[in-house]
Structure formats: C-alpha cells, structure tokens
Structure 1
Amino acid sequence: MKTARRISALILATAALAACADEPDDDGNAVPSGWIRGEYSRSGAGYVDRTDPTSQVAKEIDGNTSAVDRLSDGDRRFLRYRDDIVAISPHSSGRGSVIEIADYRSGYHRWRTHIGSVWPDPDSAAFRGGGPGSGK
C-alpha cells in the first residue's frame, strides 16, 4: 500500500512539474534593461542613441517589450513598465536621444511635471503597486 501511495505522489509531482514547464516565462512586464544595455551606448547614468530621435527610440524599446503605458510630453517620451519608467529625452547635442531607467517611485518624482497628472502617484493611498502581494 505504501508503494502505491509513493508511486501516485511521484506521478502527481511529475505532472505538476511538466505543466509548469509548459507555461511561458512571464516576468510581469519588466523593463527590458538587458536589451537596452546591449542596444545603446552607456553614458553617465543612462544610455545614449546618438542618431535616432526620441520617438524612434521609444518605438524600438516598446517594440522589444511592450510598455504598460506610453506618454509623450514635447520631445520627451516615457514608457511605463511594471515597476519602472523609461524616460527618453533629446540629447543635449541636438541629435539623438538619452535613455534613463528609474524605478517607478523615483522616476515618478523625478519626472512628475511630465507624468504626474496622467500616471498614479506612488505615494497616494489609491496607488496599487505592480508587485506581487495581497491587499490590491
């Protein structure tokens, strides 16, 4: 009888593992920082594309990993991911773009004048963060 239970438990465990292996690897819409790092040149606290305008760079990044939301303010582009914001601004040389990645809270406070009336304030009682957990 014990052998039958062990075999049943083994079969159930194998089936559960096989089911998990077939599920896609969903990272919950994380910012494509590795892709950005490989695609653009490092510059100071961010990355730079010395030729493409902000609109093109935003399309490239969003094309690699779709953002939860996108926002434009003048020449600036903002991509919202699960826990992060990607800001694309014109390069100071007048050509190209600067790409910065910040966690949502820091990015919101830094770029509040551009995104504050559109995206939720992470310090408000109504804000629901993107991470796992209860109470949402």
Structure 2
Amino acid sequence: MNSARVIRGAVAAVVAAFLLTACSGDGNAVPRDWIGKTYSSGGAGWTDPDSAPAAVADAIDGHRDALDRSSGGGAEFLRYGDDMVTVSPYRSGSQIEIEDYRGGYQRHRRYLTNWPDPDSDSFRGGGPGEGK
C-alpha cells in the first residue's frame, strides 16, 4: 500500500514538472524558429521576396503577439522583451532582422517614439526577472 502511494506521488511530481516546463516558455520571446522556417535565410537575417514589410510584420505578430509595434521609413518594428524584429523593404519584398532591443532602439529610435528607452532607469525589458 505504501509503495503504491509513493509511485502515485512520483508520477504526479513528474507530470507536474513536465507541465511546468512545457508551459513556462517565454511568451515575449521572438518567434525565431518560426521565422527561420517560414522565410528564406539571406543577408543580415531572412527575406520574403514578395511581401511588403507590413504584411510580413502582420504574419510575425500574428504568430506571436509583440509587446509593441511601430513603423517608419518604410519599415515595421516589433518588440519582444529584450529583442526586436525589424522588417524593412528589400528588393521587391522584405528583409527581416532580429536584434538586441538596446541596439535596435538606438538604431531606429526616431521611429520608436512610444517605446521605452532601454537606457532609462525604468526600463524592464520583459525578460527573465521582469518587474524585480
């Protein structure tokens, strides 16, 4: 009787650990794997030879909701925690780049007027330890 209780407890612990691990993915992370599978590798990132930046950004944002979105200079910008995705015009389609939020913000800050400045004391980034 005692061994059955121990086995049930062990099974419950394993199932709980599995569920916690499976559900604990970073919901604010860039969908990097999906982008790699969906778009062609090229240049500084990936390309879509036929779609405009707004359509590509819609698809990426539709796959995983961005924390913030902005546009300017023909490009679309998606913020995911400590990273950002820039979708810019490229030939007849779009180029997709993933970069660190701080570097991307510095590079494109004139279009990101409502986004938090990563160099401010209040910036939390949305990554591990957010809100601490």
Tell whether 2:37 aligns with 1:38.
yes
Residue 26 of structure 2 is aligned with which of 25, 28, 32? Answer: 28
Cα deviations by residue, 1:48-105 (Å, 9 ceiling, x for unpaired): 11110111101111121111121122521111112210011111x3x11111100111
- Paired residue total: 130
Deviation at 1:119, TM superposition (A): 0.7
2:110 aligns with 113
Distance in 1 (alpha carbons) for counterparts of 2:119 and 2:13: 40
Deviation at 1:134, TM superposition (A): 7.2
1:125 aligns with 121
Residue 25 of structure 1 aligns to which amino acid in structure 2? Answer: C
Residue 40 of structure 1 aligns to which amino acid in structure 2? Answer: Y
Structure 1 unmatched ranges of 5 or more: none
Decide whether the 8 Å contact of 1:70 with 1:77 is kept in 2.
yes
Decide whether the 8 Å contact of 2:83 with 2:101 is kept in 1.
yes
Partner of 1:51: helix, strand, or coil? coil
Decide whether the 8 Å contact of 2:124 with 2:130 is kept in 1.
no
Larger radius of gyration: 1
- Alignment map for 1:1-136 (pairs within 5 Å): 12-23=9-20, 24-29=22-27, 30-91=29-90, 93=91, 95-115=92-112, 117-133=113-129, 136=132
Distance in 2 (alpha carbons) for counterparts of 1:112 and 1:9: 58
Deviation at 1:9, TM superposition (A): 6.9
Decide whether the 8 Å contact of 2:82 with 2:101 is kept in 1.
yes
Distance in 2 (alpha carbons) for counterparts of 1:14 and 1:114: 52
> Kindly, what percent of the aligned residue pairs are identical?
47
Deviation at 1:122, TM superposition (A): 0.8
